């Protein structure tokens, strides 16, 4: 009768190396023995032989059944099988999740020559297991310019200064221009953070004299300098509350709007969510009425006008008047 093979007993240093190897394989990497040897020497800074690393790989193979060897030409590579690398949650990922992963993988390529290119490559390998192939057309990031593009290179230093002010919670005296006017303002502000919207980098800033937070495009800020701290109460920034009833980023009075999409455009517009609190009412003539609260700002008026003749504004009257005024101004300017 054959004796069972004794279990391999490994020491602390060897265990550390084997665990490190396993983590590298979990990232989706493949290694030849010589490549793994070089990585071990570089990482652990130890004086061991190639044969020692080969023994480590064999031990890992004994412990992890999904370890496999793949022949590529004359070279043999160690790797984990695809089944071992498939996340347990993969079957639960729905279509929207998968779309997000394809988008993320394509977007990460924009940073392939940056200081974090090596880390991005590892992340991309992980995403590949969920979103296989290069299906998202990455050229669209640079070719579609619906809102135009602004060259921020000349703002690099200023951008860095504002980031440091946010990190250090430094109050600033700023000079900036309004979004849709030529009016210049000089204000005392605390910057909260920034985001990207319609081709612009916008900063959220708490301005005491305005009694709240404003969104200011980076290109509209012409000057800033350190200021003394503000001693009164400063409320926490509530991003959800800021964006919830706002189409775009500028301010305006809150109104309850009622819009009717006529049959020719209802399939396109009424099937979308324009507001988290919108109510939808299909009509017998195949038109659709939607209702929601919104700030009547410049961006919302422009959006309403952009839909064209397939949209009827039912209420409020102030919105109807604003749209009429804008349309008349366009006709006068182009007559």
Domain ranges for the chain: 12-84, 90-140, 153-244, 254-333
CATH topology of domain 153-244: SH3 type barrels. (2.30.30)
Percent share of the chain, pLDDT over 70: 91
Distances (CA, A) of 127 to 30, 81, 97, 118: 16, 16, 11, 15
Percent share of the chain, pLDDT over 90: 45
Closest to 290 measured CA to CA, from 298, 282, 300? 282
Residue with tokens 């109104």: 255
Start-end of H helices in the chain: 12-26, 33-44, 50-63, 82-85, 95-108, 117-128, 140-143, 156-168, 239-244, 266-269, 298-307, 317-333
**Per-residue model confidence as pLDDT tens digits over 189-222:** 999 999 988 888 999 999 999 889 999 999 999 9
Distant-in-sequence, close-in-space partners of 170: CB < 8 Å, separation ≥ 6? 164, 226, 227
Provide φ and ψ at 213, rounded to 5°.
-95, 145
* pLDDT classification of 70: cutoffs 50, 70, 90: confident
Compute how many other C-beta atoms are within 10 angstroms of the C-beta atom of residue 120.
Answer: 16
CATH topology of domain 254-333: Alpha-Beta Plaits (3.30.70)
Task: Report the distance separating Cα 246 and Cα 294, nearest Å.
Answer: 6
The model carries a pTM of 0.64
**Per-residue model confidence as pLDDT tens digits over 71-105:** 887 888 998 886 665 555 455 556 667 788 888 88
CB 157 within 8 Å of CB 210: no
Residue 134 reports pLDDT greater than 70: yes
* pLDDT classification of 245: cutoffs 50, 70, 90: confident
12-84 has which CATH code?
A: 1.10.10.10
Q: How far apart are the first and last CA of the chain?
A: 103
Task: Return the minimum-mean-pLDDT range out of 19-28, 143-152, 291-300.
Answer: 143-152
């Amino acid at each position: 009768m054959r004796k069972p093979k004794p279990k391999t007993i490994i020491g602390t240093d060897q265990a550390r190396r084997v665990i490190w190897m396993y983590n590298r394989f979990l990232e989706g990497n493949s290694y030849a023995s010589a490549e793994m040897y070089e990585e071990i020497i570089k990482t652990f800074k130890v004086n061991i032989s190639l044969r020692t690393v080969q023994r480590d790989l064999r031990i890992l193979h004994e412990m992890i059944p999904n370890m496999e060897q793949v022949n590529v030409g004359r070279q043999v590579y160690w790797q984990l099988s695809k089944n071992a690398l498939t996340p347990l949650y993969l079957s639960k990922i729905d279509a929207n999740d998968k779309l997000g992963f394809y988008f993320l993988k394509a977007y990460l390529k924009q940073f392939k020559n940056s200081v974090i290119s090596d880390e991005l490559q590892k992340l991309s390998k992980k995403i590949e297991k969920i979103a296989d192939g290069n299906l998202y057309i990455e050229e669209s990031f640079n070719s579609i310019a619906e809102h135009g593009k602004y060259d921020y290179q000349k703002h690099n230093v200023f951008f860095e200064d504002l980031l440091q002010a946010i990190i250090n919670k430094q109050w600033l005296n700023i000079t900036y221009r309004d979004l849709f006017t030529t009016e210049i303002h000089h204000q005392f502000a605390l910057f909260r953070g920034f985001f990207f919207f319609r081709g612009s980098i916008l900063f959220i800033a708490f301005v005491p004299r305005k009694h709240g937070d404003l969104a200011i495009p980076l290109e509209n800020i012409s000057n800033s300098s350190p200021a003394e701290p503000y001693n009164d109460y400063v409320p926490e920034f509530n991003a959800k509350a800021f964006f919830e009833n706002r189409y775009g980023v500028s301010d305006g009075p809150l109104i309850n709007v009622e819009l009717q999409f006529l049959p020719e455009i209802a399939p396109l517009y009424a099937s979308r969510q324009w507001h988290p609190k919108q109510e939808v009412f299909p009509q017998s003539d195949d038109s659709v009425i939607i209702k929601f609260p919104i700030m009547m700002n410049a961006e919302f008026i422009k959006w309403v006008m952009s839909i064209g003749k397939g949209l009827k504004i039912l209420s409020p009257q102030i919105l109807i008047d604003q749209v009429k005024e804008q349309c008349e101004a366009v006709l006068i300017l182009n007559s």
